[in-house]
Amino acid sequence: MKKLRLHPCGNYKEKYEEELTIFETDFGRLWVGIGLILLFVVIPLISSPYLLYVINHIGIFAIAAVGLNLLIGFTGQISLGHGAFFGVGGYAAAILTTKLGFPFYLSVLSAGIITAMVGLVFGLPSARLKHLYLTIATLAGQFILQFLFVNWESLTGGAMGIILPRATLFGLSLKSDHTYFYVVFICFVAMLWVAKNLLRTRYGRAFIAIRDNDRAAEGMGIPIFHYKLLAFAISSFYAGFAGALWTHYLASITPDPFTLFLSVEFIAMIIIGGLGSLTGSVFGAIFITSLNEILSHASEFFMNLPALAGVALTIAPLREFVFGLAIVLFIIFEPRGLAEVWRIIRSSFRLWPFSY
Amino acid sequence: MEFFLQLLIQGLSVGFLYALAALGFVMIFKSSSVLNFAHGDLLAMGAFFFLVLSVWLKLPIYIAFILTLVGSFAMGFIIERLFLRPLIGESLILVIMLTVGLAAMFKGLLLFIFGGNLFAFPEFLPAGLSIRLGNINIPPVYVATFVISIIFLLLFGLFFKYSSQGIYMRSVADNQPAALSLGVHVRRVFALSWAIAALVCAMSGIILGIISGINVHSTSIIGLKVFPVVILGGLESIGGAIIGGIIIGLLETFTGGYISTSLREVVPYIVLVFILLVKPYGLFGLVEIERV
């Protein structure tokens, strides 16, 4: 058996490949293996259906958040339209399934591709310009798409929405939370793997160069326009893919959820999780989704106490307040987000008990 | 024809309202190059502050009006001090995200206190303000909107052009380190521009309230209408904000009147995308845009 690689007591890297490696030690590999086993074997066994429902949501939102982080955290372009792009993916999947009879896996993939193309339409005018303009163009995209969801009735069903048949994969019904869990998390692991490796390639390095200094990046021969558009397309693909998964999971779609607030929610996820960190996006998705569940439980709890039913109604808008507050506090006090907190915890454990 | 004229007048007054709202936005952008996504919520805060003072506390209108302006001026200072001061020198992305967070916070807070209902202001404009043109009657609200907007826009034009504070603001916007090294008090400039922007927002919030009543959702949406206006007019230009505001206002009312009311809300954004494609620096903006 080959010797396990451990943390060296200094920086002994000699080749660039060693810098690029994902797992510096074999313990990292081991932990990821353990984590995957925990995720796919233990969690579905011990979770109640309700908990699985929440976990599935976390997985779906985490896919979208990873995509958004590729755009904001790694390429430095802000998008305020991801709520609508998530909706485009959902609608694309719903329409392809109900009108054209696409099978589940094909509809999800094509929904991602369609969303990437819709995203390009809004990325196109702005990718030539500095990031302020992309933000504004995506804001316009959010409103235009929202309008189309409601008013293009022949295609989207208007305010009534579309009801989908239950998804099946290779003849297997995906009706229960349990089976859908595997679908969501196999996609999640695959998408995370793709994103992680994308960042190690030429494309990922170009994205980071554009974020850090766009003029210098152009000076070094990176065609900025192409890479910005590419980042935008990839990010929209992630959003659309997640939206399609979400729609198939709920088996219906209406225009209500895809508002500007959803876009803000996605942004909150990646800021709280940590800009420019893939694990951070996952933490952010966990944080926001759990916060959502906790707040809705809180209002339900108050609803059941007759004396406090009035409080329950007023507590709902507090959700928005809490999200805003979380964004603001994280930006001011921990701009690198939960990923940084996690890193600090990990490194203090690694050095324990001799912290110097 | 009468319908057309009515729409024209309504469109103009909506346009002036947008211009006034855009003014506060341009103010912040000019001095700190921050895109303020919390603009509509500042506007709503001002409007609701006035509502509390005039309707709930039953203060005389003029006192309520002045108190609102003073209060929102102070609020602008406080927002800058609490939230934006710690971020001086941080990357612009973080600052813009912060305003997104602030927007959600303020909106949640307002919804928590006031709920989603529509509130109306008391009628307090003298009826003598209304003007008759042929058989078209221009209601006093619109006249007041024209007058107040024009006064404010003139004042701010002069302020930026001639007053020393205005020149400091422009210098900070142009090049922050250079302004710092020449002895401009950058922090004070930021604080002042947020305070003035909040004041202008309150102003436009009150006008909006007189025209159509206030509701947390629809009032804070106005803040996002500012984006088409300023992009059309050019991000740094006060004159552009006025022209852009009027064009967008007219476009909106005419679409609403002749085509469909649901399209009305989206038309500005469709225009926005086209402008970004064709003439991204707007009608009067600085042409030096970095194409990267």
Give me the mean pLDDT over the A180-185 stretch.
87
DSSP state of A10: S
Nearest Cα residue in chain B from A217: B292
CB atoms A327 and B100 under 8 Å: yes
CA–CA separation, A81 vs A126, rounded Å?
Answer: 13
**Of A78, A125, A147, which has the smallest distance from its Cβ to B96's Cβ?**
A78
Q: What is the pLDDT of residue A314?
A: 64
Q: Which residue has the tokens 């554009």?
A: A210
Domain total in chain A: 1
Comparing A16-25, A286-295, B59-68, B183-192, the range with the smallest average pLDDT is A16-25
Write out chain B residues lying below 8 Å of A275, CB-based. Answer: 93
Comparing A105-109, B142-146, B199-203, the range with the smallest average pLDDT is B142-146
On whether residue A189 sits in a domain, the answer given is yes
Give me the mean pLDDT over the A330-337 stretch.
86
Write out chain A residues lying below 8 Å of B227, CB-based. Answer: 136, 139-140
CB atoms B87 and A140 under 8 Å: no
- A-interface mutation test, from B93, B224, B255, most A Cβ less than 10 A away: B93
The number of beta carbons lying within 10 Å of the beta carbon of residue B210 is 23
Q: Number of residue pairs across A and B with CB atoms under 8 Å? A: 142
Share of chain A above pLDDT 70, in %: 92
Give me the mean pLDDT over the A245-265 stretch.
87
Give me the mean pLDDT over the A188-200 stretch.
91
Give me the mean pLDDT over the B276-286 stretch.
72
Tell me the domains of chain B and their CATH numbers.
2-116+138-278 (1.10.3470)
User: Residue A171 pLDDT more than 70?
Assistant: no
On whether residue A104 sits in a domain, the answer given is yes
Q: Point out which residues pair with B119 in neighbouring strands.
A: B214
CB atoms B265 and A126 under 8 Å: no
Helices of type H across chain B? 2-32, 39-51, 61-79, 92-114, 140-162, 164-174, 176-181, 186-212, 216-233, 238-254, 261-264, 267-278
Q: What is the pLDDT of residue A238?
A: 94
On whether residue A215 sits in a domain, the answer given is yes
Grade residue A128 by pLDDT with cuts at 50, 70 and 90: low
Reported pTM:
0.86
Comparing A51-55, A334-338, B37-41, B278-282, the range with the smallest average pLDDT is B278-282
Cβ-contact A137, A126 below 8 angstroms: yes
Measured over the CA atoms of residue B35, residue B41, residue B44 and residue B46, the dihedral's sign is: negative
Q: Which residues are CB-contacts of A179 (< 8 A; sequence separation ≥ 6)? A: A172, A173
Task: State chain A's mean pLDDT as an integer.
Answer: 84
On whether residue A191 sits in a domain, the answer given is yes
CA distance to partner chain A, nearest, from residue B15 (Å): 19
Range of the domain at A218: 46-269
On whether residue A204 sits in a domain, the answer given is yes
User: Residue B101 pLDDT more than 70?
Assistant: yes
Q: What is the pLDDT of residue A356?
A: 61
**Terminal alpha carbon distance of chain A:** 33
Q: Kindly state the tokens that stand for A344.
A: 């600090």
Q: Kindly state the tokens that stand for A199.
A: 């960042």
On whether residue A332 sits in a domain, the answer given is no
User: Residue A233 pLDDT more than 80?
Assistant: yes
Q: What is the pLDDT of residue B238?
A: 75
The number of beta carbons lying within 10 Å of the beta carbon of residue B188 is 12
Q: What is the pLDDT of residue A124?
A: 81
On whether residue A133 sits in a domain, the answer given is yes
Q: Point out which residues pair with A169 in neighbouring strands.
A: A172
User: Residue B121 pLDDT more than 80?
Assistant: no
**Terminal alpha carbon distance of chain B:** 48
Give me the mean pLDDT over the A286-300 stretch.
84
User: Residue A112 pLDDT more than 90?
Assistant: yes
CA–CA separation, B282 vs A30, rounded Å?
Answer: 56
Grade residue B21 by pLDDT with cuts at 50, 70 and 90: confident
Of B142 and A237, the one with more pLDDT: A237
User: Residue B292 pLDDT more than 50?
Assistant: no
